[in-house]
Amino acid sequence: MDIAILGGTGKEGAGLAARWAAAGHAIIIGSRDAARARAKAEELRALTGRTPITGDSNAEAARRGAVVVLALPAAGLAQTLPELADRCRGKVVVSTVVPLTFGGGRLYTPPTAGSSAEEAQALLPGATVVAAFHHVAAQELSATAHAIECDLLVCGGDAAAKETVAELGRAMGLRAIDAGGLGNAGPIEGITALLATINRRYKRKNAGIRITGL
């Protein structure tokens, strides 16, 4: 599958790219700066030994991807996504975005839409947005030599789209858990802030979450 990762030059996007490339998917790294995206793609090809990793502008990556993954800063969604709406139409769009605010009293600050995933859905009305991968640590994604020790919580309003995303999770060895509709994206995004706090408290980088009783 051709997977476009918008904002893929960051740690989370690059980690997802490495894992999916290892599973046999073709990756298009997207960035506002196409040259930067191509440089990151070259770096990942050298790191993983996988050739189907390319880089391009966010717009061109969105056009080429069968699935589009948002690894963008939350503050940039309103500026970036409207011009990509036509290129995402009819596609599954995976939001990994978490609205974190550093340096203040509250780490997790959801937008008025309720979550970044719901904001993305409003900005991409022709796409089907699924929220997932927020709480899988970038440290764990990039360490491709070992399995990731957490579950994958997936939420969205379309069962087929959620299954597509669940399959992408299973491709990297994760157990996918259906966490309901897109309205549950806010609590899932908030888990990332909680895990970040735990990491700081215990001087770790890879805290994760598992669902028991299933």
pTM, full prediction: 0.95
Cα separation of 105 and 93, whole Å?
Answer: 31
Residue 54 φ/ψ region, left for φ over 0, alpha for ψ in the -120 to 50 degree band, beta for the rest: beta
- Domains present along the chain, CATH in parentheses: 2-202 (3.40.50.720)
- Going by the DSSP 8-state scheme, the letter that residue 121 receives in this structure is H
Banded model confidence at residue 145, pLDDT cuts 50, 70, 90: confident
Which of 177 and 206 is assigned the larger pLDDT?
177
Q: pLDDT tens digits for 84-129?
A: 999 999 999 999 999 987 776 778 888 999 999 999 999 999 999 9
Position 24: which residue type? G
Average pLDDT over residues 31-42: 97
- pLDDT of residue 11 exceeding 80, the answer is yes
**56-71 burial by CB neighbour count: b if 16+ within 10 A, else e?**
bbbbbbbbbbebbbbb
Burial tier of 41 (Cβ tally within 10 Å: 0-12, 13-18, 19+): buried
